Structure 1
Amino acid sequence: MSKYHKNHREKLKKPSNFSAQHLLISKRLIHDMIDLARIGSTDTVLDIGAGTGALTVPLAEKAGHVLAIETDPAFVDKLLGKMKDSSNIRVKQYDFLEIPLPRNPFAVVANIPYSITTPIMGKLLECPGLPLQRAVLLVEMGAAKRFTAVPIQDPRILSWRMQYDIRLVRTVSPLHFAPPPQVDSAILTIHRRKKPLIAAPHQPKFKALAAYGLRDARQPLFAALSGVFTPPQMAKLVKVLRVDRELPIGRLNEEQWGTVFHTMLQHVPANRWPRLRKGAGSKPKKRK
């Protein structure tokens, strides 16, 4: 046994929030996910919630480096046992939400734990400077629909979608897992936009605008943003957007939100820009 294997066995910890994972057993689905990710020989790929290595090992046949992240010590032990002929796999027994992410460009291909889907997505997509290039994820169907919903109602998800193209590719039945979950799953693809709709330095300002505008996604555009744009400014904005002022604000697409934001920067005095109060979960307010 190598020194690397011994060190990892000595660091085994009790599993935390990755318990009750539904292991992927469909080889066809595994290969479909890897094909969707377009993994190349120089890519670094993360397998989050790697389980016993159903994705890890075939990923290693395509990628330059694979980082398998798993918290269950029994699964980690099995993963280490499968690494004998794979020098390009590293196994880390960590809670993904606590592990530092690569500083160089990377991809993710994973059957992620459903109980912490949104926190995982937040860690991957929240920071525009993170060098995530693309991801192919198996997630619970309800979550997949929420991340790709039209109209857009969640300002946090909207901010992700200004940086990444997120798509629900197809439904996956419970029969592809052991034990089978009680709900359908879905393949979700995520690709970094070649040209982000909001530049990284402007992300905090955009988040504040999105949170302010989407307080009620059913509100007409003119009413939702009346505290930001004056009536004459709003009249010009709807002409640029080519929409009716009565359009529910939640029906704006990502490109239109980009137009709203850049119009605000260009024509609205900074004292009228929305801002987020300090502290998690605080509601946005408009500057006086």
Structure 2
Amino acid sequence: MSKYNKKKRGKGAKASNFSAQHQLISKRLIYDMINLAQVQSSDTILDIGAGTGALTVPLAETGAHVIAIEADPAFVDKLLSHMKNRDNIRVKYADILEAVLPKSPFVVVANIPYSITTPILGRLLDYPSVPLKRAILLVEKGAAKRFTAVPIQDPRILSWRMHYEIRLVRTVSPQHFAPPPKVDSAILSISRRSKPLVDMQHQLKFRALGAYGLLDPRLPLSAALIGIFTPPQITRLVRVLGIDRELPMCRLNEEQWAVVLYTMLQHVPPSRWPQLRQNVKKRKGF
């Protein structure tokens, strides 16, 4: 994982315990990640924060087309030196937060820069039109736990999980890196759902609904959605969901959130649908 220029970090980036240049040195872990990604020779693979090529070269050995994205010029030079006699590696000297992503389906296998983990996942997952098929990522364990947490309290992560299955595969100890970091890492698996829970055309509506419903994740459904649904509609909704009306909103699973969305689209006038960036702090009864 290379150290990215702090000036290039996107919104939402946070300081990290993993901000230094900790390179992946475990060959077994490298090949485990490639196997988990089910890499095929026909795949296009992104190696984000490629460093000196610890993953890049083994990925290229599968016959896949590998795009190594690296923002450190010294590492780019080393990557280029590894390209001898390999025509299936392309090195891009770029910040992943600004780089143009492939327009055709691609896979990501990477030891990503931990200090910008959330912005990187945002580039990949915020818009379902991005043709990401699957990803195997090394991330800080705390971040992996947040992305896979139950109950779901973050509306952005909720929107990702309507289109992708996100799973913490296993913990990775510091000795797999040089120099070893002070925190545990984890392998994060991301796979596009064969059938998304929310149609792409409704993605922005769902993001607005999630932000509204999870403004206070501890609120019961009956209070959290009162500004959208009328009391009789809420009574019918909880009956369809098969839950108690006092269940906290954060306890709904992805499938139940999809039911809430499509119930809203079918039975609630558009004038009552939440909008992104609208002030949802005032929930008025009827």
Question: Could you state the TM-score of these two structures normalised by the residue count of structure 2?
Answer: 0.91
Q: In the aligned structure 1, how far is the partner of 2:276 from the partner of 2:260?
A: 18
- Structure 1 position 184 matched with structure 2 position 184: yes
Aligned pairs for 1:242-257 within 5 A = 242-257=242-257
> Which residue pairs with 2:207 in the alignment?
207
1:207-246 aligned at under 5 Å gives the runs 207-246=207-246
Match of 2:13 in 1: none
Once the 2 structures are TM-superposed, how far is the Cα of residue 128 of structure 1 from its aligned partner?
Answer: 1.0
Distance verdict in 2 for CA 1:283–1:38, change over 3 Å: farther
Q: For 2:85 and 2:240, how far apart are their aligned partners in 1?
A: 59
Structure 1 residues 262 and 15, CA gap change in structure 2 (3 angstroms):
closer
Hey, what's the Cα distance between the residues in 1 that align with 2:66 and 2:201?
A: 31
Residues 208 and 284 in structure 1, CA contact (< 8 A), matched pair in contact too: no
Provide runs of 4+ in structure 1 moved above 6 Å.
285-288
Q: Corresponding residue for 1:97? A: 97
Contact 1:22 / 1:177 at 8 angstroms: preserved in 2?
yes
Report Cα offsets for 1:154-204 as digits up to 9, x if no partner: 001100100100000000001101111111000000000111111111111
For residues 193 and 150 of structure 2, the distance between their equivalents in structure 1, rounded to whole angstroms, comes to 19
What secondary structure, in the 3-state scheme, does the structure 2 residue paired with 1:87 have? coil
Output one character per residue of 1:95-147: Cα deviation in whole Å (capped at 9) or x when no partner: 11010000000000000001000000000001110100000000001100110
Secondary structure (helix, strand or coil) at the match of 1:146 reads helix
Question: Which whole-Å deviations, capped at 9, do the CAs of 1:28-76 have from their partners, x for residues lacking one?
Answer: 0000000000000100000000001000000001142000001111111
Structure 2: how far apart are the matches of 1:51 and 1:116?
15
**RMSD, aligned α-carbons:** 1.8
Mapped to 2, the partners of 1:215 and 1:202 lie a distance apart of 20
Q: Counterpart of 2:232 in 1: which secondary structure?
A: helix
Task: Report which stretch shifted further, 55-64 or 261-270.
Answer: 55-64
User: Structure 1 pair 107/272, CA: closer, same or farther in 2 (3 Å)?
Assistant: same
1:273 aligns with 2:267: no
Matched, 1:153 2:153: yes
The Cα offsets for residues 195-254 of structure 1, whole Å up to 9 and x where unpaired, read as: 111111111110010000001111111111111111111111111111110111101000
Residue-pair matches, total: 271
1-structure distance, mates of 2:254, 2:46? 28
Give me the TM-score of the superposition, normalised by structure 1. Answer: 0.91
Q: Using the alignment, how far apart are the partners of 1:219 and 1:236 within structure 2?
A: 19
Q: Cα–Cα, structure 1 residues 137 and 15, in superposed 2: closer, same or farther, change >3 Å?
A: closer
Residues 4 and 113 in structure 2, CA contact (< 8 A), matched pair in contact too = no
Aligned equivalent of 2:14:
none
| Residue equivalent to 1:116 | 116
Structure 1: distance between partners of 2:244 and 2:100: 45
Distance apart, 1:21 and its partner CA: 2.5
Q: Which AA in structure 1 matches 2:194?
A: K
Tell me the secondary structure at the aligned position of residue 275 of structure 2: strand
Q: In the alignment, what sits opposite 1:140? A: 140
